[in-house]
Amino acid sequence: MVDEKFLATLTILYVENDEKVRNKYKFVFEQLFKKVLISFDGLEALAKFNEANKNQETIDVIISEILLPYSDGIELLTHVKKIDKNIPFIFTTTSTKTEHLIASIRKGVSEYFVKPVDAFFMLKQVQKLCLKKENENKDFDYVDELEEYLNTINKVAILTIFDCKGKILYVNDFLLEVSKYLEEDLLEQDFKFTYHSDVSKTILTKQWKQLQASKKWKGKLKHIGKNSSIFYTNTTIIPVINKDTNENKKFISINFLTTKEENKKRNYKKKVLYNLQETKRVYKVAQDKIDEIKIEISKYGDISKYEDELKKEKTVSSKYYEEIKDYESKIGRLDEKQRLLTFGVNDKMYKISNITTEMVDVELKTVNKIKKVEDEIKLREALIKKISSEIATQFIRIHDLEDVIEHRDNQLEEKK
């Protein structure tokens, strides 16, 4: 059964070079996971993993093909496990080579599947591996917390561990300090070795009977040290049960001093311990902030290097600035010359235009005059032609008249 709520809290890096397979799983993963990082090749996957790690973003699981372009899945696995050895890493691959399987196991792969792999089965494996990692992290946190607790007790209380037969297995430094015994004096001795003879046998019998019944015992005890010094304790003895046999495995005896002087010492140690823990807490907060600032600073690389580069760029820029100013001055002078030249050319063009216009006008007038003269010549030619015609007509008439006159004169002559 797949827990969709749990999967929705996870970030996955999925590396697949087959586009068809990649798109199929991408669709499924994006419906279920909080965030899905997709890569086509090994180098891109390495870059995305490194960036997430740099930005303190958690990648909860990686699913990858072995046969990838540029950098293969084994190289990706090796790099990832150097940074986070506990991250679940699954190979889904077409490779059936034995050397790939052996290399994967040696490098710490979590699961190795030959394609095709059912999507639902894959999700179950992811859930299983991520839940296992989550539980391991809780166990580590619990162990760390328990160790810190024991270290705290160790500084303010007398601590003894003995086995089910009553033989001392461990004593802390505080007991050695108070009792003046050496560690080798106490190890393998009976746990009642420091008990004073004034402690009644009834109390001792009841104590042992209660411990053998796997019950916690609490009471006040009188002790005697190596130099016959007396000290009193409020004691709690806790049985540690073996889960497999449900029997006592060992006992932990925690003893707080009750004499006035020792109580002062214990209270002082408690204050010192509290101050130390508070200092550690403040230091951790400060260190986290420093780490956060370092990460931010690291984004900008080597500042001194960039300062040198900026100085060089400033020098070059100043040089270019002077050159630009010089060019601007030259351009200004050229612009002025160009303006004057343009003005001169325009003036000449204006004058030429005026002269041309005048010439055109004169030419037009001349043409008009010529045309007018030509028209006048044509008119005169027509008039001359008309006059010539009239003269010719008159000439004919005169000739005819002369003939008539001559004929008449001839007739007159004949009559005479």
Domain CATH number, residue 200: 3.30.450.20
Residue 339 lies in a domain: no
Q: In the chain, how many domains are there? A: 3
Both 136 and 8 in a single domain? yes
Both 138 and 240 in a single domain? no
pLDDT for res 297: 62
pLDDT for res 144: 54
Domain boundary, last residue among 258, 288, 316: 258
Is the pLDDT score of 394 beyond 90? no
Residue 12 lies in a domain: yes
Is the pLDDT score of 146 beyond 60? no
pLDDT for res 303: 55
Q: In the structure, what pLDDT confidence band is assigned to residue 175 with cuts at 50, 70 and 90?
A: very high
Is the pLDDT score of 4 beyond 80? yes
Contact 68, 17 (CB under 8 A): yes
Residue 23 lies in a domain: yes
> Which of residues 345 and 208 earns the better pLDDT score?
208
- Cβ partners under 8 Å of residue 393, min gap 6: none
Both 18 and 49 in a single domain? yes
- Length of the chain equals 416
CATH code where residue 133 lies: 3.40.50.2300
pLDDT for res 191: 94
Q: Report the mean per-residue pLDDT for the chain.
A: 81
Q: In the structure, what pLDDT confidence band is assigned to residue 304 with cuts at 50, 70 and 90?
A: low
Least confident residue range of 19-33, 155-169, 359-373: 359-373
Is the pLDDT score of 368 beyond 90? no
Give the whole-number percent of the chain exceeding pLDDT 70. Answer: 79
Q: How far apart are CA 113 and CA 126, in angstroms?
A: 12
Is the pLDDT score of 16 beyond 60? yes
Residue 405 lies in a domain: no
Residue 409 lies in a domain: no
What's the average model confidence in pLDDT over 190-205?
Answer: 94
Q: How far apart are CA 49 and CA 63, in angstroms?
A: 12
pLDDT for res 322: 80
Both 227 and 292 in a single domain? no
Is the pLDDT score of 178 beyond 60? yes
Residue 215 lies in a domain: yes
Both 163 and 138 in a single domain? no
Both 23 and 71 in a single domain? yes
Residue 150 lies in a domain: no
* Long-range contacts of 169-175, Cβ-Cβ distance < 8 Å, separation of 24 or more: 169/250, 175/255
Range of the domain at 293: 270-300
Both 207 and 290 in a single domain? no
Both 105 and 214 in a single domain? no
| pLDDT tens digit sequence for 85-104 | 889 999 998 888 888 888 88
Is the pLDDT score of 306 beyond 60? no
Give the whole-number percent of the chain exceeding pLDDT 90. Answer: 28
Contact 179, 159 (CB under 8 A): no
What's the average model confidence in pLDDT over 228-232?
Answer: 91
Q: How far apart are CA 113 and CA 266, in angstroms?
A: 59
Both 165 and 237 in a single domain? yes
Torsion of CA 265, 280, 85, 21, to 10 degrees: 140
Q: In the structure, what pLDDT confidence band is assigned to residue 240 with cuts at 50, 70 and 90?
A: confident
pLDDT for res 156: 75
pLDDT for res 78: 92
Q: How far apart are CA 175 and CA 189, in angstroms?
A: 14
Residue 129 lies in a domain: yes
pLDDT for res 201: 92
Both 16 and 63 in a single domain? yes
pLDDT for res 139: 53
